[in-house]
Amino acid sequence: MRSWLRRAPSSAQEPPPARAPSTPDGGPETGDDRGGHALRAPSRLHAFNRYEIKYLVPTGDVPALRERFAARMDRDSHGGDTGYGVWSVYYDTAGLRFYWEKIEGLKFRRKLRVRHYGEASTVTDDSIVHVEIKQRVNRVTQKRRVALPYHLARDLCDRRQLIEHVPEQRPFLDEVLELLCGLDLRPVAMTGYQREAFVGRDSDLGLRVTLDHRVRGRDRDFHLGADAENRLIVPPKYSVLEIKANERVPYWLTDLAARTNLSIVRMSKYCQSVEAFGHAPRSLFHVPDDADGATAGSPVKSEV
């Protein structure tokens, strides 16, 4: 193992420059947990760029929007009619560096997370999860991730051990370890929600629209399968709508957003969780707990 993996971490150290995404050429992903769009990736190492637009939608408007999306798009085959759970553990510094980079709107920023698609209650050491670096470069969102059994993901991210890998995964794993060791990252927040996903067809190939409901989080008990309580971190009367496109958002979708008076928001689920638990002052972009959403602080069970 390289010497920088053994040195004492320093929070003052700058992260290394981002590497260009590696080209995957491995076999198909395996494992019993196939919930979620991530398993459409061509190999265990996956990278992509896209534009993302986010809206906050009153839950009362969701049925009409769902009907419009279904008329022009296909449902994600992994989610069926009810969608699937998405659970993520986010890593940050003691000073919440990644959080503040988002709040301050840095043109280049990164964050590290471990993500599970499916029921949280079913997570075992052998469940397939994704270790992911999500970064923003100007207006473009870039993701690089590797699919691993959960016990290996914990060896990598919590124990900072270089795990067994194929050669194509090494640059990505090195970058994950450089972030973890160089910035002394640790689990800071967890988020979970129920996701409905639609994918574009015909001329809209590459388009993806998601509706995230019951957005929850916690600031402790970071094992993905823990029988722990979560809090609603977005008022229950709202769902989060995200539009994700490789190059452009089609006119019919921007027109729909305009006609339904949807407003773009800069809300981050990670930042929302940090602020909801009082680890940072609530920013201008925090979704307020208004009268109708006053129950957002009440505990709910972690099952989806």
What pLDDT does 45 receive? 67
pLDDT at 70 > cutoff 90: yes
Res 131: pLDDT: 98
Please give the backbone phi and psi of residue 85, each rounded to the nearest 5 degrees, phi first: -80, 150
Q: Calculate mean pLDDT across residues 143-168.
A: 97
- Quick check: 242 and 52 in contact, CB under 8 A? yes
Q: What's the whole-number average pLDDT of the chain?
A: 83
- Please give the residue that has the higher pLDDT: either 53 or 48: 53
Task: Give the pLDDT confidence score for residue 296 in this predicted structure.
Answer: 38
Specify the pLDDT at position 295.
38
Q: How far apart are CA 162 and CA 145, in angstroms?
A: 15
CB 151 within 8 A of CB 49: no
pLDDT at 290: 63
**Cβ partners under 8 Å of residue 232, min gap 6:** 214, 215, 216, 295, 296, 297, 298, 300
Give me the pLDDT at residue 124, please: 97
Stronger pLDDT, 119 or 27, i.e. the higher one: 119
CA angle 81, 83, 89 (to 5 degrees): 175
Q: 124 or 291, which is more confident?
A: 124
Q: What is the pLDDT of residue 5?
A: 34
* Closest among 217, 99, 98, 89 to 154, alpha carbons compared: 89
Please, what sign has the CA dihedral across residues 280, 284, 285, 290?
positive
**Helix then strand then coil, % of the chain, to nearest 5:** 25, 30, 40
Q: What is the mean pLDDT of residues 11-18?
A: 35
Predicted pLDDT of residue 44: 57
So what's the pLDDT on residue 82? Answer: 84
Task: Specify the range with the lowest mean pLDDT, choosing from 42-46, 130-134, 211-215, 298-302.
Answer: 298-302
208-to-55, 61, 171, 244, 273 alpha-carbon distances in Å: 14, 19, 28, 5, 24
- The model's pLDDT over 215-271, given as tens digits with 9 standing for 90+, comes to 999 999 999 999 999 999 999 999 999 999 988 889 999 999 999 998 899 899 999
Distance CA 128, CA 133 (A): 17
pLDDT above 70 coverage of the chain, percent:
80
Strands (E), 156-248: 186-200, 208-218, 229-232, 238-245
Q: Which residues pair with 220 in a beta bridge?
A: none
- Residue pLDDT, tens place only, 75-112: 998 877 789 999 999 999 999 999 999 999 999 999 99
What number is the average pLDDT over the span 163-168?
95
pLDDT of residue 272: 96
Instruction: Dihedral sign for Cα 212, 270, 191, 276, please.
Output: negative
Check: CB of residue 218 under 8 Å from CB of residue 297.
Answer: no
- 172 neighbors 146 (Cβ within 8 angstroms): yes
CA distance 89 to 186: 10
Chain centroid, CA 259 distance in Å: 28
The CA distance from 238 to 265, in Å, is 12
Q: Which pLDDT band holds residue 71 (cuts at 50, 70, 90)?
A: very high
